[in-house]
Amino acid sequence: MRINRENLIRFFDRKGFYIVLFLSIVVIAATSVYVTNNNLKKLEELRKAQQEEINSAIESDWGYEKELAQAQGKKEQQNNSTTAISQQEKSNVSDKKENLQPVTKNSDEVKSSGKNDSLTNSKVATVMASTTSTIKKDSNLSSTMLVLLKPVNGDIILEFAKDKLVFSKTLQEWTTHKGVDIGSKLGEPVLSAMDGIVTKVYKDPKLGNTVVIKNGKWETRYANLDDEILVKEQGKVVRGQQIGKIGASAKFEVGEGPHLHFELLENGIPIDPIAYFK
């Protein structure tokens, strides 16, 4: 059977639109069914996951409640035990009070006791006096008015300024100054201002060669010294003993000329030494 080409074309011209529409509807329907099934599966998985989380939360809450109940039970047991012990202690104390009886002493015992008390008090007073004397000896200058020997002869060219500012010629700025600068000449002897122990001999990056002497609560520092230091650490020095010479080792005070940078500290706190010079 031969199919006429013109009849075929006319057929598709009439029915073609409906065929395409039908096929489109079929495709859309199939896609919808697929998407719907996929979404339903995802919703089911999500619901299961949420249910598992809820079950887990319920189980954890139940475990917490059980632990809380156990803790409360232990606490009640401890409280009951403490109450029982307290009542037992009170009972023991009351029994001891009932068993206590006043003790009377005869006149001889009273006299003997009085003698013993007086002897004890006398010994205590002697020990306290001895201890006080020892403390005074150990503290040396800490319990008396400090009198310092001026380490070098010269004028004060830069005063003490812990709570104010002074002008530094070297730094060309206003700054604090925890000691006094005593003008002198290069090579002039520097003397110890007080008796004490040499605790440090070192080169300070700002103040140069430095010697520290300590006596009780007092501490003296001698800086800008020459390289030739005449004392050693842990050595004893006496007031007026030479410890070194005036040098030019203080990098931060070169502009002030030859001088001794001298500091006085009480319990580690810098104070103005001028009032303590004899």
pLDDT tens, residue by residue, 229-252: 999 999 999 999 999 999 999 988
More confident residue, 170 or 108: 170
Give 210's strand partners. 202
Q: How confident is the model at residue 32 (pLDDT cuts 50, 70, 90)?
A: confident
Q: What is the mean pLDDT of residues 131-139?
A: 44
pLDDT tier for residue 22 given thresholds of 50, 70 and 90:
confident
Q: Is the pLDDT of residue 141 over 90?
A: no
Look at 84 and 50; give whichever has higher pLDDT. 50
Residue 77 corresponds to which amino acid?
Answer: Q
What is the pTM for the complete model shown? 0.50
- The pLDDT-based confidence of 36 (bands split at 50, 70, 90) is confident
The dihedral sign for the CA sequence 249, 252, 255, 256: negative
Q: Is 262 exposed, middle or buried (0-12, 13-18, 19+ CB in 10 A)?
A: buried
pLDDT of residue 264: 96
Answer whether residue 142 shows pLDDT above 70.
no
Q: How far is CA 202 from CA 55, 74, 121, 248, 262, in A?
A: 75, 65, 52, 15, 15
Return the SS3 of 94.
helix
Q: 70 or 36: which carries more pLDDT confidence?
A: 36
At 93, the pLDDT band (50, 70, 90 cuts) reads: very low
Q: Give the pLDDT score at 252.
A: 86
Q: What is the pLDDT of residue 171?
A: 83
Give the chain's mean pLDDT.
77
